[in-house]
Amino acid sequence: MSKSLFADASSRLEKALGYISISEDSLKRLKYPKTSLSVSIPVRMDDGSLQVFQGYRVRYDDTRGPGKGGVRYHPNVSLDEVQSLAFWMTFKGALLNLPFGGAKGGITVNPKELSRQELERLSRGYIDAIADFIGPDIDILAPDVYTNEMIMGWMMDQYSIIKRRISPGVVTGKPLTMGGSQGRTSATAMGAFYAINAILAKFSQLPPQTTVAIQGFGNVGGILAELLAKVGYKVVAVSDSQGGIYSSHGLDIPSIRQYKKEGYPMKAVYCAKSVCNIVEHETITNAQLLTLDVDVLIPAALENQITAANAGDIQAKYIFEVANGPTTSAADEILDQKGIYVFPDILINAGGVTVSYFEWVQNRSGLYWTLTEVNERLKERMIAETEQTWNIAQQHSVSLRTAAYIHALNRLGEALDAKGTRDYYIKG
C-alpha cells in the first residue's frame, strides 16, 4: 500500500531531528493532530432535492496561538489531505514566527458544478457545522483551492449571525468592505515573489536570463506569473487543470490572465483573441510542463505532482513550491541526487498566512493599513525568514526543506517545552 499523504508529510520531520534539541514529549505531541472534526452538511439544491456533503476541520496544533488555515473545496478532499495541510500550516506559522498554530478545512465537492446560491448554502452550512470549534481566539479560516473572498465573506457573516456579534477575526481573506486587508488576495504570490528574487540573486540568476514554467494559474500561480514577467523573467509555460501552453519566446501573461478571467480554459485563452498571432506557442499537458528544460519550475496547483515517477525527468535547476506538498519525499531524494534545489512550500507560500495574520491584527485593533504598509511588512518578514532558513541550510549542509523544518521545530519545541516536559516535572 502506498504511504498516506499525512505519513509522507510527517516523515519530513525525521530529517530535522538530528539538528535540534527538542524534548521527546514535545515531539510525541507533534506527531498527532490535536482535533480532527468530520461533519456532514445537508444542502437544499436549486431543483428542490437534498444533497449531503462531507466536510472537515482539523486543528493540528495550537501551542503558539489559535489554529490558522484555509478551507479547500475540491472533489479529492479527504481527512488525510486536510490533516496533512493542517500539519504544514503548523510549521509554516512557526517558520514565519506568527502567533498561530496550524489548522485546515475542506469540503469534498466540485464547486464548478454548483450554482452560486448552492455554493452559498454549502458555505453557510459548513460554518453551522463547525461554529463551536472555530473563533478569532480558537481557529481562524482563510481561502484555499477553489474558495475565494466572496466565500470568506459568507463564512464570516454566518459565524457572526450564529454568535450574535460581528466577528471579522474568525476568517481572513474577506472582502475589503467586510474587514479584509489590503494585499491579501495577492499576498501568497507576493511573498513567493520576494523569496524567489532573494534566493535567485544568491545564484546570480537574473530575471532576463531566467526561464520559468508555472503549473496552476489560479489565485497564486496567475498573480505570481504576472509579477515575475513584469520584472523581466521569461515565463515560457503556464497551465490550469485542463492543460498548458508553451512558448520559448515567453508568454504574454497579462493577456492570458485577462482571458482566464473571462472564463476561457487555458488551452483556448491564448488563441481566443489575437495574441496567438503575436507569439508562437504550442499546447502542452501538465505532465510535459513539469519536465520542460527551464531554469525555474513553480508548481502552484495541487499536492503530489512531482513524484518518484517523474522526478528523474525534471530539468529545472530550481523548484519553488508555491502549492502545498507538490513534491513527495521519494521525489525529494531523486531531485537532491540530481543537484536540483527545492525551496519548500512552508517557506515559499507563507506570504498568504502572513498577510492573514496582518488582517487578523487589523480586525482586532480596528486600525487598517495601506497596501504599501502591508507589502513592506510582508517583504521584511519573508526575506528575514528566507535568510535564516538559507543560513541554517549552509550551517548544517542540509536541504532547504530540512533547514525550514529545523527552524520551525526550534520555535515549536521551545513553545511546547515551555508548557512543561517530563524533565521539568521529574527534576523539579
Alpha helices by DSSP H, 214-350 = 219-230, 253-261, 266-272, 275-278, 286-290, 329-337, 345-348
> Would you call 68 a catalytic residue per the annotation?
no
Contact letters for ligand NAD, residues 47-76 (x by CB under 6 A): ------------------------------
Identify the residue whose cell numbers are 519550475.
297
Rounded Cα gap, residues 299 and 216, in angstroms: 7
146 scored as a contact of ligand NAD (CB under 6 A): yes
b or e along 184-207 (b: 16 or more beta carbons within 10 Å of the residue's beta carbon)?
Answer: bbbbbbbbbbbbbbebbeeeebeb
The residue nearest ligand NAD at its CB is 218
Rounded CA-CA distance 141/90 in Å is 14
- Residue 240 contacts ligand NAD per CB under 6 A: yes
Sheet of 243-246: strand order equals 282-284, 243-246, 234-240, 211-215, 296-299, 318-320, 341-343
348, 318 in Cβ contact below 8 A? Answer: no
Q: Does the footprint of ligand NAD cover residue 214 (CB under 6 A)?
A: no
Q: Which of residues 344-403 bind ligand NAD (CB under 6 A)?
A: 349, 352
Min separation Cβ 82 and ligand NAD, Å: 11
At its nearest, how many Å lie between ligand NAD and the CB of residue 309?
Answer: 15
Does 300 bind ligand NAD (CB under 6 A)? Our answer is yes
Among 130, 213, 227, 301, binds ligand NAD (CB under 6 A): 301
Give, as one character, the DSSP assignment of residue 114.
Answer: S
CA 352-356-361 angle, 5° bins: 150
Nearest in space to 348 (alpha carbons), one of 391, 393, 401? 401
Query: Per the structure block, which three cell numbers stand in for 170?
Result: 474568525
Minimum separation from the CB atom of position 420 to ligand NAD (A)? 33
| 302 binds ligand NAD per the rule CB under 6 A | yes
If binding is defined by CB under 6 A, does position 209 make contact with ligand NAD? Answer: no
108 binds ligand NAD (CB under 6 A): no
Alpha carbons 203 and 293: distance in angstroms, whole number: 18
The smaller minimum CB distance to ligand NAD, of residues 371 and 418, is found at: 371
Quote the distance between the C-alpha of residue 126 and its chain's center.
21
295 binds ligand NAD (CB under 6 A): no
x/- string (CB under 6 A) for ligand NAD, residues 320-339? --xxx---------------
Look up cell 473572498; give the residue: 149
Q: Which is nearer to ligand NAD, 73 or 233 (CB)?
A: 73
By the rule CB under 6 A, 105 interacts with ligand NAD? no
Select the residue interacting with ligand NAD from 11, 76, 110, 241 (CB under 6 A).
Answer: 241
Complex with ligand NAD: residue 69 or 413, whichever CB lies closer: 69
Which listed residue (104, 174, 260, 379) is catalytic? 104
Separation between Cα atoms, residue 356 and residue 151, nearest integer Å: 15
Is 144 among the residues that bind ligand NAD (CB under 6 A)?
A: yes
Taking the least distance from each CB to ligand NAD, the nearer of 14 and 282 is 282
Rounded to a whole number of angstroms, the minimum distance from the CB of residue 188 to ligand NAD is 4
Residue at grid coordinates 499523504: 5
Nearest residue (CB) to ligand NAD, 125 versus 344: 344
289 strand-pairing partners: none
The packing angle between helices 351-365 and 371-396, to 10°, is 140
Q: Which residue numbers are catalytic?
A: 104
Residues lying near ligand NAD in the complex (CB under 6 A) are found at 143-146, 188, 215-221, 239-241, 286, 300-302, 322-324, 349, 352
